[in-house]
Structure 1
Amino acid sequence: MSQIGIQTSDQFKLLPKIVNGGIAGIIGVSVIFPLDLVKTRLQNQVAGPGGEKLYSSMFDCFKKTYKAEGYLGMYKGSAVNILLITPEKAIKLTANDTFRYYLSSDSSKPLSLVREMLAGGSAGACQIIITTPMELLKIQMQDAGRLTAATANTAKNAKVLISKKASALSLAHELWKKKGILGLYQGTGATALRDITFSIIYFPLFARLNNLGPKRSDGSSVFWCSFLSGCVAGSTAAITVNPFDVIKTRLQAINKAPGEPTYNGVLDCIGKTIRNEGLTAFFKGGACRMIVIAPLFGIAQTVYYLGVAEKLMKLQ
């Protein structure tokens, strides 16, 4: 099981951990993606001059999106996310296990909190090579419907900024032509700030919660304990880093509706958001993010516990 138990060189096999991370990512994204789309739209919306908002709440956003775009509209951007979530989750979960393994000076003793945080933060830093372009493309797709509605409300004949038919491939190609590889890494600093901080909180908290639960005869945790530990640790870390997620989402939203501010880096985004909307803006979509992250990591840890890859590869 990830993060718990005693590891030896014979037990630490990298390939099944990578496969488990990929399986966990695909299952998790497929389950929670509509909520992730709602979170993105809530974080990007800015009140108009009269204080009017396109979406008044998470449920209002969900209802309006479904009514305007249908069931498939709730999964805009899911293809690129499902494609890249496999390497992303594989890197995150496997890197954490790898760093924990090499930071452990004595396999018979648990890691200190500082070393657990170092392993988790290092894992978060490793994943951003995949996370940044994945999130950048996903956000453009997820936010397209909000931009269309906001633009139509602002100016009857205004040009729609993103076509509903835009694909992640065409967006990636356009960014590559304009800015090269760096075009796909807009918002890297904010992504690192979010993911490193998240992992520093999540992995040690998960390990401690999981160790509190019942154990099987071989010392491994029961699956429901791993699931609940993943949910609690994930939702706690998610709400803690939500301000960084809001900043990242806004920096990566390349197109804006008329009247929406543009940002020149993390500090500029923080300053303008505080001036225009106050500190509460940094917790937009917070409830959605908690609901998204809790099952995502609960599922991830359960897949790790079940050892799906090990069974498929006949390593158990």
Structure 2
Amino acid sequence: MGLTSNASAPKMKQPQEFSLLPKIVNGGIAGIIGVTCVFPLDLVKTRLQNQTVGPDGQKAYSSMLDCFRKTYRAEGYLGMYRGSAVNILLITPEKAIKLAANDFFRHKLTTSDGRLPIQREMLAGGSAGLCQIVVTTPMELLKIQLQDSGRTSGGNKNAPKISALSITKDLLKTKGILGLYKGTGATMLRDVSFSMCYFPLFANLNRLGPKKEPGSNESVFWWSFISGCAAGSFSAFFVNPADVVKTRLQLLNRGASEETYSGILDAYRKIWTKEGPTAFYKGALCRMIVIAPLFGIAQMVYYFGIAEALMGIDKTPSTMLAAKTSENK
């Protein structure tokens, strides 16, 4: 009786394990492609955020297009990729940590009945953002110095060349390992807030799209790309004030007339007082344009399953970023 009853009962799906290695490879590929495509805009974003109003009320750049044009004219094509090497080098562990950690925490926070309430989605995303700062902070610190070097040198081609290695050696020599983690608090504020916003928003947008086949939880790849772009763009705008503060705090070399800050609250206060609330949205459009394709590409790469194809691993929803969607809310 018992055997017959069990045989006739519908089989319950066992929870699938997600494989970490394909996530690392897919995240790295997505990061490299995304960074290469959008890095010039990221450089423009950094320079717009760092510029302050001069004594005569003038600005070095009047707009995103003006900054792009002046930078290209002064430094050429390769100048638009200042700091890209360190970003490409570190984007693999950064993306791997972010994506894998979000999946891990979503898995752990899912209730016994298969539900993942929005509060837990936000907690999972925020925890993933917290984990990534171990890589993101030094990566951003080095990238900002290299991106901003052209601005501080005024486009002078005879100015001493700096490199990520020379900056790292100098910081380690003068300040130790903690020198590479200048601005950690501001980076944490930005990345935790971003991930708390991005991951739940992406999961819910992705859940609404057309599926690859009837009865599947896996959305078609182009919908995941759109969802990633939309969620990334909105989240980037939301956390832009924290990104402006982080960029200012991580800048090591300042001009004689440029403001200095003792910490996050001091930076917020001085920027608000001296530059007004709109200063917190300097480079916001650039950041939205940078982040949207970065995260859209990440979703596409996961759905293409490049790593799975290379490794001969079956491509299942459990190996993709959007696998942990909230179907039973």
Provide the TM-score with structure 2 as the length reference: 0.88
1:65 aligns with 2:61: no
Paired residue for 2:44, among 38, 56, 71? 38
Paired residue for 1:149, among 136, 154, 162? 154
Match of 2:145 in 1: 140
Paired residue for 1:298, among 286, 296, 299? 296
Name whichever of 217-226 and 25-34 sits farther off.
217-226
Task: Please state whether the residue corresponding to 2:154 is helix, strand or coil.
Answer: helix
Task: Please state whether the residue corresponding to 1:149 is helix, strand or coil.
Answer: coil
Deviation at 1:163, TM superposition (A): 4.5
Structure 2: distance between partners of 1:77 and 1:164: 15
Match of 1:157 in 2: none
Match of 1:215 in 2: 211
Q: Give the residue type in structure 1 aligned to 2:209.
A: G
1:289 aligns with 2:287: yes
Spell out, residue by residue over 1:118-173, the C-alpha distance to the aligned partner (whole angstroms, 9 max, x if none): 100000000000000000000000001111119x8xxxxxxx9x945200000010
1:128 aligns with 2:124: no
Provide the TM-score with structure 1 as the length reference: 0.92
Name whichever of 214-223 and 125-134 sits farther off.
214-223
Paired residue for 1:202, among 195, 198, 205? 198
**Structure 1 residue ranges without an equivalent (≥5):** 1-5, 153-159
1:262 aligns with 2:260: yes
1:117 aligns with 2:115: no
Q: Give the residue type in structure 1 aligned to 2:91.
A: I
1:179 aligns with 2:175: yes
Structure 2: distance between partners of 1:204 and 1:163: 46
Structure 1: distance between partners of 2:209 and 2:89: 34
Match of 2:276 in 1: 278
Spell out, residue by residue over 1:250-297, the C-alpha distance to the aligned partner (whole angstroms, 9 max, x if none): 000111112001111101111111111011100000000000000000
Q: Give the residue type in structure 1 aligned to 2:80.
A: M
Paired residue for 2:53, among 44, 47, 63? 47
Task: Please state whether the residue corresponding to 1:82 is helix, strand or coil.
Answer: helix
Q: Evaluate the alpha carbon distance shift between residue 7 and residue 119 of structure 1 in structure 2; reply closer, same or farther with a 3 A threshold.
A: farther
**Structure 2 residue ranges without an equivalent (≥5):** 1-11, 315-329
Spell out, residue by residue over 1:212-261, the C-alpha distance to the aligned partner (whole angstroms, 9 max, x if none): 00001243110110000000000000000000000000000111112001
1:191 aligns with 2:187: yes
1:168 aligns with 2:164: yes
Match of 2:99 in 1: 93
Match of 2:231 in 1: 233
Paired residue for 2:245, among 227, 242, 247? 247
Structure 1: distance between partners of 2:288 and 2:173: 36
Q: Give the residue type in structure 2 aligned to 1:240.
A: F
CA contact (8 A) 1:144 1:163 kept: no
CA contact (8 A) 1:210 1:225 kept: yes
1:12 aligns with 2:10: no
Q: Give the residue type in structure 2 aligned to 1:122.
A: S
Structure 2: distance between partners of 1:55 and 1:111: 46
Task: Please state whether the residue corresponding to 2:153 is helix, strand or coil.
Answer: helix
Task: Please state whether the residue corresponding to 1:75 is helix, strand or coil.
Answer: coil
Deviation at 1:105, TM superposition (A): 2.7
Deviation at 1:302, TM superposition (A): 1.0
CA contact (8 A) 1:113 1:204 kept: yes
Structure 2: distance between partners of 1:59 and 1:196: 30
Task: Please state whether the residue corresponding to 2:132 is helix, strand or coil.
Answer: helix
Structure 2: distance between partners of 1:25 and 1:208: 23
Larger Rg: 2
Paired residue for 1:24, among 30, 33, 40? 30
Q: CA RMSD in A?
A: 1.8
CA contact (8 A) 1:144 1:164 kept: no
Q: Evaluate the alpha carbon distance shift between residue 308 and residue 50 of structure 1 in structure 2; reply closer, same or farther with a 3 A threshold.
A: same
Structure 1: distance between partners of 2:279 and 2:13: 43
Spell out, residue by residue over 1:74-98, the C-alpha distance to the aligned partner (whole angstroms, 9 max, x if none): 0000000000011001100110011
Structure 1: distance between partners of 2:15 and 2:25: 19
Q: Evaluate the alpha carbon distance shift between residue 8 and residue 101 of structure 1 in structure 2; reply closer, same or farther with a 3 A threshold.
A: farther
Task: Please state whether the residue corresponding to 2:75 is helix, strand or coil.
Answer: helix
Structure 1: distance between partners of 2:63 and 2:302: 35
Spell out, residue by residue over 1:37-76, the C-alpha distance to the aligned partner (whole angstroms, 9 max, x if none): 0000000000101111111000000000000000000000
